[in-house]
Structure formats: C-alpha cells, structure tokens
C-alpha cells in the first residue's frame, strides 16, 4: 500500500475502476454468446434481438474506454455475419 495520500486514493480508485470494467467486459461477452447461441439454434428473431443488445454494449464499451473502437467494429462485423447466415 502506498504511503502518500494521493497515491492511496489512486489505488482505491483503480480497484473500483477495474471492477467496473471487468463487469462491463463480462456483460459484453454474455451478450455476444447469446447471439451465437441464437444463431446455432437458427432462431432469427432471437438472434436479431440479441444482436441489438450486443451492438449497444459494444458501443458503450468504446465510449467508456473499456475496448478499442477497432475491437468493437470487428466484433460487430463478426456478429452481423453470423446473424445474416441464418436462412
């Protein structure tokens, strides 16, 4: 633990931010898995609904600095390709 007061505050802030970022990443991964599960079941309506949720979470992850914008774009393309493959 640091001795300087500002560094102590910084350490506590970093722990809180790390927990928040971990929760956001976990929620994003869960949303993406729901899309792939719906695609595997060939359920177009459920996949489209899950896709909208996943897109929203990806956009929020970029805005909040959890992920890089290129990561978000790559995952969006991957998810959309999977949903469009359902016939």
> What does each of the 87 residues of the chain score in pLDDT, given as a tens digit?
789 999 999 999 999 999 999 999 999 999 999 999 999 999 999 999 999 999 999 999 999 999 999 999 999 999 999 999 997
pTM assigned to the model: 0.86
Nearest alpha carbon to residue 35 among 54, 62, 14: 54
Straight-line distance from the first to the last Cα atom of the chain, in angstroms, rounded to the nearest whole number: 57
Q: What pLDDT shows up at residue 3?
A: 92
Architecture per CATH, domain 5-84, reads as: Up-down Bundle (1.20)
Q: How do the domains of the chain map onto residue ranges?
A: 5-84
Q: Give the number of other Cβ atoms within 10 Å of residue 63's Cβ.
A: 11
Q: What pLDDT shows up at residue 87?
A: 76
The Cα 45–Cα 83 span in angstroms is 10
């Amino acid at each position: 633990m640091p001795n300087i007061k500002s560094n102590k505050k910084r350490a506590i802030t970093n722990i809180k931010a790390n927990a928040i970022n971990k929760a956001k990443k976990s929620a994003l991964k869960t949303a993406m898995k729901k899309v792939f599960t719906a695609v595997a079941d060939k359920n177009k309506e459920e996949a489209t609904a899950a896709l909208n949720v996943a897109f929203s979470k990806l956009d929020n992850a970029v805005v909040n600095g959890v992920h890089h914008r290129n990561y978000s774009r790559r995952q969006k393309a991957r998810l959309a390709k999977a949903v469009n493959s359902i016939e």
